[in-house]
């Protein structure tokens, strides 16, 4: 995903400090999940009034927003728990926004940048693998996806270790505990509806992100 933050004020606030974002407002009274709205809320917590709709597109563009929306719907379907599904995706959005702010404000040292680069390459591998498992029959292996996801988790923990609070590290574990669960992955790639439709939309979105060079 494209990541950017050009605010001088933001640089000053983050230098030498840990980042904390309080919970997002509970605005979803209907079964409509808008990741761009949630990204705006997360950015306002970090950047104050400087956050704008144009900045949302920098952190989360239209395609990645659609992918996140689809991840919410499939998570809600699997868990049968709307609040839990919202929590997983909200945590994911918070982590994406924080990582983008840190990266664009040059908060990572040389060693951390190596880890960030490894993380981005691992996410790219994850995306390629997820799409190929959908496109090529009889290739799906939930253990392969789970292992790649857990490798992403560890790289992310290491990269942001000195920057974020223990609460943020907990959010990262919450995200990956769900998506790296083998039973969830097996269900997602299974033959039944509505999961077949969900994975089709997910892979279409992820494939477009790959083509656009955004993942």
CATH number assigned to the domain with residue range 8-211, chosen from the 4 options 1.10.10.10, 1.20.1440.160, 1.10.3720.10, 3.40.50.2300: 1.20.1440.160
What pLDDT, in 10s, does the model give residues 108-154? 999 999 999 999 999 999 999 999 999 999 999 999 999 999 999 99
Nearest to 48 by CA among 105, 7, 83: 7
CB-CB contact of 25 with 41 (8 Å): yes
Q: What is the pLDDT of residue 29?
A: 42
- Indicate the SS3 state at residue 164: strand
* Residues of the chain below pLDDT 50: 1-30, 49-50, 53-54
The pTM (predicted TM-score) of the whole model is 0.80
| pLDDT score recorded for residue 15 | 42
Predicted pLDDT at 41: 74
pLDDT for 47 equals 63
> Could you give the CA distance from residue 1 to residue 187 in angstroms, rounded to a whole number?
26
pLDDT of residue 46: 66
Domain spans of the chain, in order of start: 8-211
Cβ-contact 75, 174 below 8 angstroms: no
Beta bridge partners of 164: 19
């Amino acid at each position: 995903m494209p990541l950017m933050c050009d605010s001088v004020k933001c640089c000053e606030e983050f230098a030498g400090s840990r980042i904390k974002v309080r919970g997002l407002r509970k605005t979803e009274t209907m079964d409509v999940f808008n990741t761009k709205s949630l990204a705006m809320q997360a950015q306002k917590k970090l950047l104050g009034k400087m956050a704008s709709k144009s900045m949302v597109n920098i952190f989360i563009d239209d395609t990645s927003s659609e992918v996140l929306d689809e991840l919410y719907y499939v998570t809600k379907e699997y868990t049968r728990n709307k609040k839990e599904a919202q929590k997983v995706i909200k945590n994911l959005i918070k982590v994406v926004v924080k990582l983008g702010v840190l990266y664009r404000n040059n908060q990572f040292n040389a060693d951390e940048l190596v880890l960030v680069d490894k993380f981005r390459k691992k996410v790219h591998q994850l995306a390629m693998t997820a799409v190929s498992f959908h496109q090529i029959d009889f290739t799906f292996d939930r253990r392969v996806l789970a292992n790649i996801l857990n490798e992403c988790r560890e790289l992310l923990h290491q990269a942001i270790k000195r920057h974020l609070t223990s609460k943020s590290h907990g959010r990262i574990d919450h995200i990956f505990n769900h998506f790296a669960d083998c039973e969830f992955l097996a269900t997602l790639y299974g033959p039944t509806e509505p999961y077949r439709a969900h994975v089709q939309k997910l892979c279409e979105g992820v494939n477009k992100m790959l083509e656009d060079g955004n993942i």
